[in-house]
Amino acid sequence: MASKEQSKCAVIGASGYAGEELVRLLLAHPLAELVQVTSRQSVGKRLDQVFPRFAHQRKTLIFTDSDSESVLGNANIVFLALPHGVSAERAKAFLDGGVRVIDLSADFRLGNAETYREFYAKDHPAPDLLKRAVYGLPEVYHQKIADADLVACPGCYPTSILLPLLPLIREKLIDPTDITVASLSGVTGAGRKVEADYLFAECNESARPYGVPKHRHLSEIEQEVRRVTKTELVIQFVPHLVPMNRGIISTIFLRPAADVDEKETEAVYNDAYRTEPFVRLLGSRLPDTKNVIGTNFIDISWKLDPRTGRLIVMSAIDNLVKGTSGQAIQCLNLMCGYPETAGLL
């Protein structure tokens, strides 16, 4: 389905952090063209009025309303940067109009409408589309994404957890029923929510766990792990909010199979990711969010703790790039037959 002609892209719901980052990446993309931005609250405003950082753009984009008619004539790819629940309502019109959809919400990540109801506390608005959607983790679903017309980009935490986890599970290096994850995220992870909890003085000089014990992202993490193990299992996950703009650290505590050591772990990771352009294997050097900020890289580290016998795997990503919009561009590149790194390196 891929073709190398220039794609014409629209970003629906472009006024949040994910939307802004998509705009940044698309404006700099050598092969894709950003032709439309929509946002209910910003209709009629110029792009640089909403995002002054884009003040140098010679081309003037004006925010339109997100009705699909106005988009269908312009774009052949739409990115949905809409709230959960809204994406699913809007996707069908775009698909029916022959436009391929890259969704950044959680709406199409779960293959199962019941799990959606359990974790998102409402009925799925378009359950018939779930089968059609591909989970947009390029390092796992490379070819499926290339062929898809509906891609569900993973959540930021799931990206940071699944990429280090899946090769170890696939190669049976660890016990998939004993997985504990502590993650740390910068504040943009909450989106541009105008709520007191996310005011500067409420987040600065503050660190706090949240979403305990059943954060919504668990649903997709468990789904993807189960797709490998073919068994039921649950994962322990506690995220924390820390005072920085961007970045996620995930520290994953694992029970390795007998005799698994750091060398074997390294071999498995090398096999899985040696040729992946956005995975950097640090070995025993520990990750730091500042090394990935603004990039689409995931840094992965591992250490065996000889005292406890646990394998500790750690990763770092930029939640807005590899965790959201950069990964969406990576999916775009696959879908359009572009080099996977186009606009991302």
Question: What residues are labeled active site?
Answer: 156
Question: Binding string to a second copy for residues 35 to 74, with x set by CB under 8 A, is what?
Answer: -----------------xx-xx------------------
Nearer CB in complex with a second copy: 72/238: 238
Q: Which two tokens mark 6?
A: 């220039």
Sheet holding 77-80, edge to edge: 32-38, 7-12, 77-80, 100-103, 150-152, 134-135
Judged by CB under 8 A, the residue of 314, 321, 331, 336 near a second copy is 314
Smallest gap, in angstroms, from Cβ of residue 257 to a second copy? 18
Q: Which of residues 266-285 bind a second copy (CB under 8 A)?
A: 277, 280, 282, 285
Strand 236-241 vs strand 208-209: parallel, antiparallel, or unpaired? antiparallel
Judged by CB under 8 A, the residue of 117, 132, 253, 266 near a second copy is 253
Nearer CB in complex with a second copy: 99/156: 156
Beta-bridge partner residues of 46: 62
Q: Of 60, 51, 136, 65, nearest to 100 (Cα)?
A: 136
Smallest gap, in angstroms, from Cβ of residue 160 to a second copy? 12
93 lies in the binding site for a second copy (CB under 8 A): no
DSSP 300: E
125 lies in the binding site for a second copy (CB under 8 A): no
30 lies in the binding site for a second copy (CB under 8 A): no
Question: Binding string to a second copy for residues 146 to 185, with x set by CB under 8 A, is what?
Answer: ----------------------------------x-x-x-
Judged by CB under 8 A, the residue of 98, 195, 231, 275 near a second copy is 195
Smallest gap, in angstroms, from Cβ of residue 330 to a second copy? 14
DSSP 270: H
Pick the piece of the chain touching a second copy (CB under 8 A) from 2-10, 85-93, 104-112, 309-317. 309-317
Distance of CA 268 to CAs 195, 261, 283, 299, 323, Å? Answer: 43, 11, 12, 15, 23
Beta-bridge partner residues of 130: none
For residues 199 and 62, give the distance between their C-alpha atoms in angstroms, rounded to a whole number: 29
DSSP 62: B
Q: Do 261 and 203 contact (CB within 8 A), yes or no? A: no
Judged by CB under 8 A, the residue of 6, 113, 245, 337 near a second copy is 245
115 lies in the binding site for a second copy (CB under 8 A): no
Say how many residues touch a second copy, by CB under 8 A.
74
Q: Do 8 and 75 contact (CB within 8 A), yes or no? A: yes
Assign 276 to helix, strand or coil: coil
Q: Is the peptide bond before 213 cis (omega within 30 degrees of 0)?
A: yes
Judged by CB under 8 A, the residue of 131, 196, 258, 263 near a second copy is 196
Nearer CB in complex with a second copy: 2/28: 28
Q: Which amino acid, 15?
A: S
**Residue position matching structure tokens 């000889």:** 306
Smallest gap, in angstroms, from Cβ of residue 200 to a second copy? 4
Pick the piece of the chain touching a second copy (CB under 8 A) from 61-69, 132-140, 156-164, 240-248. 240-248
